[in-house]
Chains A and B, each alone.
Chain A
């Protein structure tokens, strides 16, 4: 079975139904559905060899159904939807994490072990797996592992804190590299435009200004389409 389809069916089919049966929150269900819509289509300048690598990774499955749903729940707690933007699952974060776990196998043990830790903790404290307990209980567990002492290097921190840090990193990077996340961030570039300096209100906000002398050397954007010519001394004439 095609790997992408299988993930889709995991997220849309049996599992989504399962969530409903288990009385999970309705927003989690819709979030999971959207997550399965789309990821990379490989049309971004891959060489044939690079395409093959991606296809091979896509044909493999690392996380099982239970792990994927737990990742979906967890990533949505890390980056929940708000009234303007979708959350982590809307942004395709679970699929992204599934891919990265195969792309960078060094991540696997930490991720998988951390998910087991999460269920163990949840079972011990609340008598059910992490994905099935109510949000308040989920957050009680996260509150134990989500904060870290920035004076201690991450690799010297307890495993569960390392796990959560990795999950947070992957969730945020997955979210902010998605269409939704880029819109949320407000990044305005990656399109043809003409750079003509920092907007005046921004200069004022930061208490900065341009030197007139410096500006006089910079490109006059109204003449950018005029072919450059110089005198013998290197002075631009056009």
Chain B
């Protein structure tokens, strides 16, 4: 089989169309460059009636929204999941890493929680504070101008609170708290735990004439058909196309490797078309990898050549190393004060209207680094699972559980909206011995060698999870509630979820000034090859107790500006 090669040469080829790739596409196309965006999944537009799941009712599905096919329920807007048929990954030595992939235009930004937190000054230099991990080669002041621009371009609601490590920004006004959130605020204050309005990228107010304003259906995980939430397709790629950008979209195209020439410079990419299962090549002056931290590492490791025998950009042997996900642990409580609720529409935005940023000093704790608290609850739309064990809470009142008949109706209404849950999301220390690598024994259905994960939590993360659990229990008691389930034991890692489960995996191509212990420089340019850049979360040195997307966007913009400048100066 001959590989089909296109004759045109792009200024830049971007691999992946999520937050990082979408932003690169927008910035490079707006600068007038001719670019190709290569996406492994199909085209997706949340406004396409054939694709949208927003405002659908559970009874429109024969499985009523059950998660049999889509991991987060079948109205969730991520094509893909923890396991994808024909595209395996493997784990070594008892590793429990789980890898969530979403192959579609916009990637995981179509379903994500939209929690849009800037990293603070301390997050870039945390080694200075506790001696652990490494500092970034850049600081908050380098990224701040880009965070500001991202806020204004994409839109994020929140409030300026003047907190030292949770920086202010250019916020849209937040929505008012819901009832259970008021209960939470009251309960948290009893323990001096701060609560502030959430910072999330939905438009509570108009930001431009291309995108609609939030209409409060609470379904951002389904991707918004009026583009009132941030998804990379609807908010970055489509606008860039509309304003005349020269963007060729290659969908259903799985990149195998970055191609290089005799001098070792990148010449483009080769990809396999899912439509005809044939291999193609694209030529470009610059290659931008934004396929997700692990997928980009995989592409680099698979891009072996005479000049790059250890994989592209891997002379340091660091590609794939320092992989880390946020820590996560959850708990829920039954709040009797929220029983017998009057029913009204409180869908609000998708997710929480309030949250708790990290509030303690680790000096007094048995773990480094913090976590923030996300909360959920309320009278949501019934979906598969609603009504299971309908009167389980009777046990708290000494009443019988179970039964049948008309009384179940009363029980369901009595308890509707009376559960409040927490998710702690914290920072893990990046370690060289947590990594992904190529599994020499396994290929996917396209013949591309797959990733093998090696990952172990340490007691830092376990102790942090234990602290989350005791905090959650204290909060539930403060609210007059009953904690649901038993306190997770030491053997259960105190409820610490397996790495990968929070879907914030970062660090596989970390940035640094020293080419011996980092993969990219501070502009996310490979140390080894100056015309390859990485704009997903691979270059993260650490991740803070924040979600990674807003920083992916800011850094992608920064790197893309740098690419434009370097091309202009003919340095690459």
CA distance A76 to B453 in the complex (A): 49
Additional A-B contact list (20), CB under 8 Å, known A99-B62, A176-B412: A40-B60, A45-B52, A45-B75, A77-B405, A79-B404, A80-B405, A96-B62, A104-B66, A177-B386, A185-B416, A188-B343, A193-B347, A195-B216, A198-B176, A203-B182, A217-B173, A226-B205, A227-B206, A227-B208, A230-B170
**CB of A71 within 8 A of chain B?**
no
24 contacts between A and B (CB under 8 A): A45-B52, A45-B75, A78-B405, A79-B404, A79-B408, A82-B406, A147-B400, A150-B401, A165-B402, A172-B387, A173-B385, A182-B381, A185-B343, A186-B343, A188-B345, A191-B345, A195-B176, A198-B177, A208-B183, A218-B174, A219-B157, A230-B152, A234-B169, A234-B170
Among B77, B171, B385, B403, the residue within 8 A (CB) of A234 is B171
B176 nearest CB across to chain A (Å): 4
Quick check: which of B279-287, B388-396, B519-527 contacts chain A, the rest being far away? B388-396
Q: Are A219 and B401 in contact (CB under 8 A)?
A: no
A77 to B401, CA, bound (A): 17
Establish whether residues A208 and B182, one from each chain, have CB atoms under 8 Å apart when the complex forms. yes
In-complex Cβ contact of B64 among A173, A215, A228, A235 (8 A)? A173
The answer, yes or no, to whether A39 is at the interface (CB within 8 Å) is: yes
- Size of interface on B: residues with Cβ below 8 Å to A: 95
- A177 / chain B contacts, CB cutoff of 8 Å: 58-59, 64-65, 382-384, 386
Contact of A217 among B58, B174, B341 (CB under 8 A): B174
- Residues of B whose CB lies within 8 Å of any CB of A are 42, 50-53, 55-66, 68-69, 74-75, 77, 79, 148, 152, 155, 157, 159-160, 168-179, 182-183, 186, 197, 204-209, 213, 215-219, 337-338, 341-349, 379-390, 392, 394-395, 400-406, 408-409, 412-413, 416
Decide: A219 and B215 in contact? CB cutoff 8 A: no
Bound-state CA distance A185–B28 (Å) is: 51
Binds B, one of A50-58, A62-70, A111-119: A50-58
The answer to whether B64 touches A96, judged by C-beta atoms less than 8 angstroms apart, is yes
Query: Does chain B have a CB within 8 A of A181?
Result: yes
Please count how many residues in chain A sit with their CB below 8 Å of the partner chain's CB atoms.
Answer: 86
Tell me the A residues contacting B by CB distance below 8 Å. Answer: 39-41, 43-45, 47, 50, 53-54, 57-58, 77-80, 82, 92, 95-96, 99-100, 103-104, 142, 146-151, 164-165, 168-169, 172-179, 181-182, 184-199, 201-203, 205-206, 208-210, 214-215, 217-220, 223-228, 230, 234-236, 238
> Closest residue of chain A to B349, judged by CB?
A195
At the interface, is chain A mostly helix, strand, loop or mixed?
A: loop
A39 touches B62 (CB 8 A): yes
B216–A194 touching, CB < 8 Å: yes
Across the A-B interface, the 5 shortest Cβ-Cβ residue pairs: A172-B387, A177-B58, A192-B215, A197-B176, A189-B347
Contact with B382, one of A99, A147, A176 (Cβ below 8 angstroms): A176
A168 B402 Cβ-Cβ under 8 A: yes
Chain A residues with CB under 8 A of B382: 173, 176-177, 181-182, 185, 187
Chain B residues near A215 (CB-CB < 8 A): 176
B254 to chain A, nearest CB (A): 16
Contacting pair B68 A236 (CB below 8 A): no
Q: Flag if B408 contacts A78 (CB, 8 Å).
A: yes
